[in-house]
Amino acid sequence: MELYLLRHAIAVARGTTGIEDDSLRPLTDKGAKKMRRIAQGMLALRFSVDAIYSSPYVRARQTAEIVADAFKPHQRLELTPHLAVAGSPRDLIEHVARARHDSVMLVGHEPYLSALASMLIAGMEHAAITLKKGGLCKLTAPELGYGRCATLEWLLTPRILAAL
């Protein structure tokens, strides 16, 4: 299985007037524009995904929608609470594994995604992996499970993706 982990793009700052609930923070105009360039960079890499799973938080959902739209207008996109800031990585992996896709993108937040990548690569949540906003990494796993099961193929910064 190919697993792509994508951190959401630049969102409005915490504490922005009128947006007291962190889950409702949207992307900034700059963040959405940069994410569209990043999505074009993903297309330049010529990979595709069978499904996109996203945190239900507005900024992650908007990021996932931009990517889904770039890949194809009717790309399968599923919101899951398992990718929310306080979601369960173990439940997420079980959910994704049951779906039996060959290639999946997970759109979420830090430090959740780095801890997830660390668990899948090293079997622990504390390896030093950093995903910048709009950053993407690719993991491969012969069989997906919660624990050491994957190999890190690459990790790209948003600047590199936008330049492709």
Closest among 84, 30, 91 to 58, alpha carbons compared: 84
HSE of 143, CA atoms in CB hemisphere, 13 A: 0
pLDDT band with cut points at 50, 70 and 90 for residue 15: confident
Between 16 and 37, the higher pLDDT residue: 37
pLDDT in tens, 79-106: 999 999 999 999 999 999 999 999 999 9
Q: How far apart are the C-alpha atoms of 42 and 54, rounded to whole Å?
A: 17
Residues 76, 101: contact at Cβ < 8 Å?
no
Between 18 and 135, the higher pLDDT residue: 135
Domain boundaries, the chain: 2-163
Exposure string (b/e) for 21-51, b if CB count within 10 Å is 16 or more? eeeebbbbeebbebbbbbbebbeeeeeebeb
For the structural domain made of 2-163, what CATH number should be given? 3.40.50.1240
Given a cut of 70, whether residue 74 has pLDDT beyond it is no
Global pTM? 0.96
> What are the structure tokens assigned to 33, written together?
């524009």
Residue 73: per-residue pLDDT: 59
